[in-house]
Amino acid sequence: MIIRPYGDTLDDGAVQLSFTLPVPDGPKGREAARLFVEKLGFKHTEITHSHALAEGFSFYVAYGKTETSIDFDTVRIKEATGDKVYSMDEACEVIKEKIGRKVVVVGACTGFDAHTVGIDAIMNMKGYNHHYGLERYSEIEAYNLGAQVPNEKLIDYAVKVKADAILISQIVTQKDVHIQNLVEFIELLQAKGLREKFIVCVGGSRIGNQLAVELGYDGGFGKGTYADHVATFIVDRVIEQKVAR
């Protein structure tokens, strides 16, 4: 099935873009913005909104039409969890039956990142959007260390409580600060000879499973993740490890 974005009429290729330019708002800035959108390959380009952000900076909303399309049938996703996601009760049942002890999970938002809402959505008792967090799972022992936690401290804590899994949240991605921080975490684990001891997952609004795996993590979780997803991933991995031993 061939698909493309649309605005008024199915298949018309209409797209809305927004961006900032390091020039003042005005006719010249708007024309520069329009030319930029044209250079991206869009036709029937229009700047529908612009305003000054600060001295010498301006913001634009542009419309354009594209002929580019995607064959939806060829799209393959690489999510950490497949179609089967355990509910909280199912996850706890599986833990009881197949693992026979509580699963220990430690999580934090690391480095200088102060965004706690994401990791709280996954771990806090009350959860997020009608999905309880890991603290609510009777068969999971969950420790949420909060935000701005140094990598070293998170590892030490995971060792102390004999964690099965470590969960990291990274929300700030400016200048790829998350990559630096995530790489440092894995390198620290490796240097301590601990990489194989833990299932290590990272999540955040701009994190995907593919990036996470490339950086040496077991799984990555982005927007729209619930505790159910990460619990399913961890539980299945703990069982796999048990079988392999």
What is the closest distance, in whole angstroms, from the C-beta atom of residue 207 to ligand B12 in the complex? 7
Tell me the closest approach of the beta carbon of residue 164 to ligand B12, in angstroms. Answer: 14
The residues of the shown chain that bind ligand B12, judged by CB under 6 A, are 107, 112-119, 121-122, 128, 167-169, 171-174, 201, 203-206, 221-225, 230
d(CA 21, CA 31): 11
Is residue 188 within 8 A of residue 202, CB to CB? The reply is no
Q: Of the two residues 189 and 201, which places its CB atom closer to ligand B12 in the complex?
A: 201
Question: Please, what sign has the CA dihedral across residues 244, 158, 165, 177?
Answer: negative
Give the nearer residue to ligand B12 in terms of CB position, either 44 or 223.
223
Q: Which residues contact 32 (CB under 8 A, 6 or more apart)?
A: 21, 23
CB of 205 to ligand B12, least distance (A): 3
Q: 88 or 230: whose CB is closer to ligand B12?
A: 230
Closer residue to ligand B12, CB minimum distance, 13 or 203: 203
- Residue 219: how many CA atoms within 13 Å on its side-chain side? 22
CA distance 177 to 182: 9
Of the listed 126, 153, 223, 242, which one is catalytic?
A: 126
Measured from the CB of residue 8, what is the shortest distance to ligand B12 in angstroms? Answer: 28
Residue 80 beta carbon to ligand B12: minimum distance, rounded to whole angstroms: 8
How far apart (Å, rounded) are the C-alpha atoms in residues 15 and 36?
14
Q: How far apart are CA 198 and CA 189, in angstroms?
A: 9
Say whether 197 is catalytic.
Answer: no
Please give the torsion angle defined by the CA atoms of residues 110, 113, 116 and 122, in that order, rounded to the nearest 10 degrees.
-50
Tell me, what DSSP letter sits at residue 99? I
Nearer to ligand B12, 13 or 107 (CB): 107
Q: Which residues pair with 57 in a beta bridge?
A: 54
Residue of this chain nearest to ligand B12 (CB atom): 203
Instruction: State how far the Cα of 5 lies from the Cα of 67, in Å rounded to an integer.
Output: 9
Tell me which residues are annotated as active site.
Answer: 126
